[in-house]
Amino acid sequence: MILRVAAFVWLGISVSASACIVFSAPNIRLFPLTVGIRELSPWVAVVNLLGVAMAWKFHRGMALAFVACLLISIWPLAQIPSVVHSMKGQITYQMGEPLRRARSAPYVLLDSFRGIPSGDIEPQRLPLNILLYSPKTPGPWPVLIDIYGGAWQRGTPADDSRFNSYMASQGYAVFAIDYRHAPDAQFPAQIEDVRAAIAFVHENAARYNVIADRFALCGRSAGGQLALLAAYENGPVPILAVISFYGPTDLNLGYTDVPAPDPMDVRSVLTTYLGGPPGAVPERYHAASPVSYAGGKLPPTLLIQGGRDHIVKPVFARELNEKLRAAGNQSVLLEIPWAEHAFDAVFAGPGNQLALFYIERFLDGTLRDRM
């Protein structure tokens, strides 16, 4: 009797987890579940497999329900080969170069369970509230500037600490920078702060033992939008590459074409950042949209996007990718079909493993191979 009750409770948990994989969160409170469960799908699959083995002995119908949950939980993993296939030819690389790249394969199932070492590099605090993650190898090093997300309203340079430490362990000096937040400071205050931080790092390149003409930018969500803007400007600091994790690229269309469901209330976020709707401040929406600058000679771009993102719809990353390519620029779109916004919060999840694998090779081709 106790075993049967435990099995029903177990099945209820499995069904709930499966629902988080299939359906998107209707509100911001449930949003972390739909992000996390999909990226923890290998763990969910193991739980479901054990459920099948337990229930098969006394209740075949329940066992079949566990089988259905098992199939749903392996759905993200089953799509990895198609993602890898779609990336062939977009980033040129050779397998098996461990001196530069920690990730030997796009996805390693065992790493989902044992985790990915982040390097354990403690940052140094610099002026302008910048955190510097210095590699343990002798310099000078190429520079990766990280810009955190948070709807332009919150966040700190410490937000991406595991990623920043990981990239520093791969030989990049990572500068995690800060910027002012809305509503107290509206656009263009944020991009002005980003420019100031980039200029500070460049001016102090010798002091921090970095290479002054080997700069790349990386940002997440709101930080991705700022990274793209900074990279596409014809500024005094040479930017050789830019990486955007699910960054908004067309803010005007982003206001009119909102996701469904819309757990974050995208229109409210945009009006807080830009000071009103597109009809009231059209020039700000244009100036703040990276797609507005997609022509001309621009740095190579890596766009990383969840295919089921309900904060920044994937159609906008596709639009920017197409326009960059049409203008003759190098652009790579890594679209992860099952992933939601902020999927890389699960550092060892399948989505972030794919992202790390292609980031390493993208930066090899744009920064390291030019040294």
DSSP sequence for 237-305? S-EEEEEEES----HHHHHHS--SS-TT-HHHHHHHHHSS-TTT-HHHHHHT-GGGG-SSS---EEEEE
Spatial contact of 157 and 178, defined as CB atoms under 8 Å apart = yes
Model confidence pLDDT, tens digit, residues 343-361: 999 999 999 999 999 999 9
Full-model pTM: 0.94
Residue 296: per-residue pLDDT: 85
Model confidence pLDDT, tens digit, residues 8-64: 788 888 999 999 999 999 999 999 999 999 999 999 999 999 888 887 777 778 889
Per-residue HEC secondary structure of 47-113 comes to HHHHHHHHHCCCCHHHHHHHHHHHHHHCHHHHCHHHHHHHHCCCCCCCCCCCCCCCCCCCCCHHHHH
DSSP 232: H
**CATH topology assigned to domain 86-370:** Rossmann fold (3.40.50)
pLDDT at 258 over 50: yes
Model confidence pLDDT, tens digit, residues 161-186: 999 999 999 999 999 999 999 999 99
In angstroms, the CA 134 to CA 225 distance is 25
| Ranges of each domain in the chain | 2-77, 86-370
DSSP 340: P
